[in-house]
Chain A
Amino acid sequence: MKNARLVVIPLVLFLLLVVFLFKGLFSDPRELDSQVQDKMLPEFSLPDLMQPDVIYTPDSLKGKVTLLNVWGVWCVTCAVEMPYLTQLKNEQGVHIVGLYFDQDLDPDFGTKTLNRVQQEVTSMLSRYGNPYAFNIFDVYRDTSLDLGVTGAPEHFVIDTNGVIRMHHIGDINERVWRNKVGPLYNKLVAEASTAGLKTGTEKSASADNGIDASLNSTRDAVK
C-alpha cells in the first residue's frame, strides 16, 4: 500500500511535468496579449506618405473594414508578404491601408529626407506590387507605440466603426489568411454590407419621399 503510493506520486508528478514541457515545445514565446483588442483606434493625426499635405485621423479609416498593415522597406518579411497582399486586394477586394514607419529615420538625428523614403517605397512597391489604398506615415513611430507594435510586419483588422478587432503579429500568407485573418475580415465585411443595405434602403426610401414631396409641391403649385 505504502509502496504503491511511493510509485504513483512521483509518476503522476513526472507525467504532469512531461505534459507541461511538451506544451512548451509548441508555445510561441513571441505571442503577446494585445492591449488594443476591441478598443477604438488611438488618436493620431498623420500625413500621407506620398502626399504629406493630406492628413489622416482615425476617422479616415471609418466606414470600411480595413486591414491595417504596419510595414517598412527595411523589413524583409514585409517584402515577402507583399505579393500575396496585392493578390488579396486584386482578387478579393480587401481594403488594405499601410501604416508606414522608417527605421533609419531616427527622430533624434533626422538623417534621412522624406524624398529618399518616398523613392525607396515607390521602387519597392513597383517590384512587389502595391496592395495599399493609401499609406499613413507614422513619422515619429508614436502611433505604432500606441498600437503596441513590436516590429514589422504586423496587422490590425479594423471594423467600420474604427474598433480594432484583431492584432496579428507576423506576416499574412495563404494559411494565415485562410485560418485566422480572412474569416474575421469576411465576417465583418458581411456584417457591414447588411448594415449598409439597411441604411441604403432607408436612404433610397427617404429619397423617394423627397421626390414625392417635390411632386406634391409641384402639383400644389400647378393647382
Chain B
Amino acid sequence: MKHFFITALKIIAVGVFLLTGKAYSAQDNFSFDTPEQRAVFLELTAELRCPMCQNQNIADSDAMIAHDMRRKVYSLLKQGKTEAEVIDYMKARYGDFVHYKPPVTIATLWLWAIPVLFVFIAMLFIVKRKSNQPPQDMAAKLAKADEMLEQDKE
C-alpha cells in the first residue's frame, strides 16, 4: 500500500514536470546571450497576459498575437531593453490589462483595501459584541444563582 502511494506520487510529480516543461516550451525557438537574459524572457512571458486568450499568459497561449508578442519581447531583450522597458512597451500598446500585476490607482486600490477593511470592520464588530454581552449575561446569571441560593436556604 505504501509502495503504491509512493509510485503514484512519483507519477504525479513527473506529470507536473512534463506539463510545466510544455508550458514554457516557448523558449525553445530563441537563443540567448546569457542565462540571465533567458531568465528575464521566461519571467516576462509568464507575467504578460495574452490579449486574445485572456486568462493565459503569453508563454502558455498559442494565439498568433501571443506568438508575435513573444517574438517582440525576445527582440526587445536582444536590443538590450530592460524588463521594465519591455513591460512599458507592451502597456503602451495593450494597456495595463496586458500585465498581470495591476498598478495601484484609485480604481484598483480597492483590491487591496477591501480585504483589509473587511477584517478591520469584522474585528470591531466582534470586539464590540464581546464587550457588550457578557456583563448582561453575568448579571442575569448572578441574579439567577442568588435566587437559587435563596431557594436552597429555605
The answer to whether A and B come from one shared complex is: yes
Verify A32–B64 contact, CB threshold 8 A: no
Contact of B51 among A32, A142, A147 (CB under 8 A): A32
User: Interface residues of B, CB < 8 Å — how many?
Assistant: 18
Answer whether residue A206 sits at the interface, using C-beta atoms and an 8 A cutoff. no
Min CB gap A8→B, angstroms: 15
Q: CA of A38 to CA of B71 in the docked complex: distance in angstroms?
A: 27
The count of residues in chain A whose C-beta lies closer than 8 Å to any C-beta of chain B is: 21
One of A33, A35, A151 near B52 (C-beta < 8 A)? A151
Verify if B81 is at the interface (C-beta below 8 Å from A).
no
Bitwise interface map of B from 49 to 82 toward A, beta carbon under 8 Å scored 1, else 0? 0011010000000011101110110000000000
Report B93 CB to chain A, min CB distance, Å: 5
- In the bound complex, CA of A190 to CA of B63 (Å): 40
Which single member of A35, A108, A141, A142 contacts B94 (CB below 8 Å)?
Answer: A35
Give bound CA distance, A123 to B51, whole Å. Answer: 31
Shortest CB distance A5–B (Å): 12
Q: Which of A30, A106, A145 contacts B93 (CB 8 A)?
A: A145
Q: Does A29 contact B (CB under 8 A)?
A: yes
Which chain B residue has the least Cβ–Cβ distance from A72?
A: B64
Using Cβ atoms and an 8 Å threshold, which residues of chain A touch B67? 106
- Tell me the interface secondary structure of chain B in the complex: helix
Output the least CB separation between A31 and chain B (Å).
10
Contact of B64 with A151 in the complex, beta carbons under 8 Å: yes
Q: Measured between alpha carbons, how far is A108 from B75 in the docked complex, in Å?
A: 12
In the complex, whether B29 has a CB less than 8 A from a CB of chain A is: yes
How far apart are the CA atoms of A212 and B135 in the complex, in Å? 107
Judge whether B93 and A107 touch: CB under 8 Å: no
Whether A151 contacts B65 in the complex (CB less than 8 A), given A32-B97, A145-B72, comes out as yes
A145-162 vs B, Cβ < 8 Å mask (1 yes, 0 no):
111111100000000000
Q: Is A103 in contact with chain B by the CB < 8 A criterion?
A: yes
Q: Find out whether the CB atom of A145 lies under 8 angstroms from the CB atom of B92.
A: no
Q: How far is the CA of A147 from the CA of B94 in the complex (A)?
A: 9
The complex places the Cα of A32 from the Cα of B94 at a distance, in Å, of: 8
Q: Give the chain B neighbours of A36 by CB distance below 8 A.
A: 93
A108 and B71 contact, Cβ closer than 8 Å, known pairs A33-B97, A146-B93, A150-B52 = yes
**Partner pick for B54 among A29, A35, A103, A141, CB 8 A cutoff:** A29
Q: Which residue of A is nearest B91, CB measured? A: A35
Give the complex CA separation of A36 and B91 in angstroms: 11
Q: Which residues of A sit under 8 angstroms from B65, Cβ to Cβ?
A: 145, 149-151
- Distance (Å) between the CB of A34 and the closest chain B CB? 8
* Minimum Cβ distance to chain A for residue B68 (Å): 5
Does the CB pair B71–A107 fall under 8 Å? yes
Determine how close the nearest CB of chain A comes to the CB of B90; give it in whole angstroms. 9
A35-B92, A35-B95, A148-B93 known; A30 and B68 CB under 8 Å? no
5 contacts between A and B (CB under 8 A): A108-B71, A141-B64, A145-B65, A145-B69, A147-B93
Give 17 new A-B contacts, CB below 8 A, not counting A147-B93, A151-B64: A32-B95, A35-B91, A35-B92, A35-B95, A36-B93, A108-B29, A108-B71, A142-B72, A144-B68, A145-B65, A145-B68, A146-B93, A148-B95, A149-B65, A150-B52, A150-B94, A151-B52
